[in-house]
């Protein structure tokens, strides 16, 4: 049963939707060559449909030398032949559409591979028509640019012997930055967007959004951010598909990040990195304060925009948004070994190993992630509590293949294990104990619990459209926050410790609240039942979602 579903929300479909991120090459291998493909993705689309996700985000699938896991692209208009053909891609779009699932794709517009024909032409001569598609200089320009990959990268400028100048790169030296101050580059980006929109995609995830609009090293431009370029991209896509969404990656403080919403005319969704860091800080310290501080600090944003919330994503879990005390706590609790950390700022692990497989804490973490303003996102495998493989380098431990069964290769591929594009996760979170098939057969599994969580979140329009407010629980280890939208409310309560807590839910909901019903709770409680008791005992790591209505404030007579 839906609560207060908006009937005019076609262009804002993501307000009550769930995003699912996957990598084609690690999801399912249909031809047993060890590499996932679009045919395999079509074969497993019903898993996503049954899970209840509304939109799939595909990580890069373009042609690439794969020196940076596909983010070093040589052709934005083609598909890596190992994954299939354009026809296979279109068939997947159709299969998803038939099940009511939209598809967005990664648009890595900040840089290309140094093997891309554009860069090959650019470096061939200083007079090349493509020369100013990239950023060149006779000497490195010190503009206080940051090193993105400490330990792997020492400079943002690399000397090119062929053309006798330095080229600029935010990331690896084999990923030269495109010059977005060049109108021709921006027009090409829009042509790429047009191409994929015509094939049926519903939007794009802009990789490294802040770097698209900063003019580092461009001599005829001041060093400033050009938000008008993002508005140009947003207007372009809106004209071609009214319900399209632009997702921006901007790992900044919330107020700085919110600038990339513009006036509702730039990014529609932005990653909520600060919330992810606060979530881990609250889980590690078992204190409500980090998350409460985060919610209280969220800036106002345009109504048509929102945050993208996650417990895990394909990159490292970045703790730069935390102060040093909280950051140390997270590292001490969740990454005590150096091999679990990366770049001095992040964690290479997935959540289940970090929480030692404690089902109660896992449910608590995802309940908190979904009971927050914005659109929840799942990274493939989270729905079954999949683990990681710390034997893999850099950011790859969380990018192991999807575990479909306890069979060889986790049911991902019937091919030779030696040909696998990526191994399975390490035990005890590998396929022998964690896989889709076994959990589908068990009504009490984490997979079935996640399906219930997704259904509940999609029905909670007050979370999708409302404003969040932290409520004083009177206990530092219990987080209570509520959402109000029109006359609807959702009150959520989360116990961050293993000790039971006694709470008066009606008092926390306020005097104006009425018709309170328990919507979702720990202990596999699901469905709607009246909140009858004043005092409720919340078990260790327990949680409650309570919905109801608020009576309007009476206006005094003149």
- Nearest Cα neighbor of 513 from 543, 552, 555 is 552
What is the spatial order of strands in the sheet that 346-347 belongs to?
317-318, 346-347, 341-342
Query: Is 249 assigned a catalytic role?
Result: yes
Peptide bond into 428 cis (omega under 30): yes
Phi and psi at residue 181, to the nearest 5°: -75, -15
Query: Residue 43, SS3?
Result: helix
Which residues are 521's β-sheet partners?
A: 544
Q: Write down the catalytic residue from 88, 207, 484, 522.
A: 207
Phi and psi at residue 172, to the nearest 5°: -65, 160
Beta strand 136-137 pairing with 488-495? unpaired
- Nearest Cα neighbor of 22 from 38, 2, 10 is 38
- Residue 330, both tokens: 């997270």
Quote the DSSP letter at residue 176.
P
The count of residues in the chain is 558
Query: Is 98 assigned a catalytic role?
Result: no
Alpha-carbon span 27 to 11, nearest angstrom: 29
Q: Write down the catalytic residue from 37, 88, 249, 383.
A: 249
Which residues are 530's β-sheet partners?
A: 517
Quote the DSSP letter at residue 264.
T
Which residues are 306's β-sheet partners?
A: 269
Per residue, what are the HEC states of 309-377? Answer: EECCCCCCEECCCCCHHHHHHHHHHHCCCHHHEECCCEECCCHHHHCCCCHHHHHHHHHHHHCCCCEEE
Q: Is residue 428 a contact partner of residue 357, using CB atoms and an 8 Å limit? A: yes
Catalogue the active-site residues.
207, 249
């Amino acid at each position: 049963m839906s609560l207060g579903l908006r009937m005019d929300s076609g262009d804002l479909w993501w307000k009550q939707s769930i995003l699912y991120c996957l990598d084609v090459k690690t999801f399912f291998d249909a031809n047993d060559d060890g590499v996932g493909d679009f045919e395999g993705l079509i074969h497993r689309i019903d898993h996503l449909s049954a899970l209840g996700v509304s939109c799939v985000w595909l990580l890069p699938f373009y042609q690439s030398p794969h020196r940076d896991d596909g983010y070093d692209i040589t052709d934005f208009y083609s598909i890596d032949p190992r994954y299939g053909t354009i026809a296979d891609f279109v068939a997947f779009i159709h299969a998803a559409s038939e099940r009511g699932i939209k598809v967005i794709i990664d648009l890595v517009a900040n840089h290309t591979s140094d093997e891309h024909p554009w860069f090959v032409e650019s470096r061939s001569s200083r007079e090349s028509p493509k020369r100013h598609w990239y950023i060149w200089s006779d000497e490195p320009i010190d503009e206080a640019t940051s090193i993105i990959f400490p330990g792997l990268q020492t400079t943002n400028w690399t000397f090119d012997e062929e053309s006798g100048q330095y080229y600029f790169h935010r990331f690896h030296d084999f990923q030269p930055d495109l010059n977005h101050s060049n109108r021709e580059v921006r027009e090409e980006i829009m042509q790429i967007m047009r191409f994929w929109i015509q094939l049926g995609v519903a939007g794009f995830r802009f990789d490294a959004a802040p770097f698209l609009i900063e003019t580092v090293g461009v001599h005829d431009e001041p060093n400033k951010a050009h938000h008008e370029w993002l508005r140009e991209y947003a207007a372009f896509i809106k004209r071609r598909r009214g319900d399209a969404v632009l997702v921006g990656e901007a790992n900044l403080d919330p107020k700085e990040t919110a600038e990339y919403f513009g006036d509702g005319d730039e990014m529609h969704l932005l990653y909520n990195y600060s919330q992810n860091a606060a979530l881990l800080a609250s889980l590690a310290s078992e204190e409500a304060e980090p998350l409460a501080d985060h919610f209280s600090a969220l800036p106002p944003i345009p109504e048509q925009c929102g945050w993208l919330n996650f417990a895990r994503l394909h990159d490292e879990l970045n703790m730069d948004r935390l102060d040093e005390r909280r950051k140390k706590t997270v590292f001490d609790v969740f990454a005590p070994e150096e091999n679990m950390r990366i770049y001095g700022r992040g964690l290479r692990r997935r959540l289940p190993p970090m929480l030692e497989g404690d089902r109660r804490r896992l449910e608590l973490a995802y309940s908190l992630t979904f009971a927050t303003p914005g659109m929840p996102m799942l990274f493939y495998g989270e729905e079954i509590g999949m683990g990681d493989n710390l034997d893999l380098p850099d950011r790859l431990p969380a990018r192991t293949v999807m575990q479909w069964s306890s069979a060889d290769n986790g049911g991902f591929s019937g091919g030779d294990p030696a040909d696998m594009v990526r191994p399975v996760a390490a035990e005890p979170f590998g396929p022998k104990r964690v896989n889709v098939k076994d959990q589908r057969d068990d009504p009490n599994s984490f997979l079935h619990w996640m399906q219930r969580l997704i259904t509940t979140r999609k029905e909670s329009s007050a979370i999708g459209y409302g404003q969040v407010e932290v409520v004083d629980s009177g206990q530092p280890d219990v987080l209570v926050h509520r959402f109000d939208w029109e006359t609807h409310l959702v009150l959520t309560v989360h116990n961050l410790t293993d000790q039971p807590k006694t709470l008066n839910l009606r008092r926390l909901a306020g005097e104006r609240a009425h018709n309170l019903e328990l919507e979702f709770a720990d202990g596999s409680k699901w469905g709607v039942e009246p909140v009858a008791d004043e005092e409720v005992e919340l078990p260790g790591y327990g949680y409650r979602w309570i919905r109801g209505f608020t009576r309007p404030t009476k206006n005094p007579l003149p």
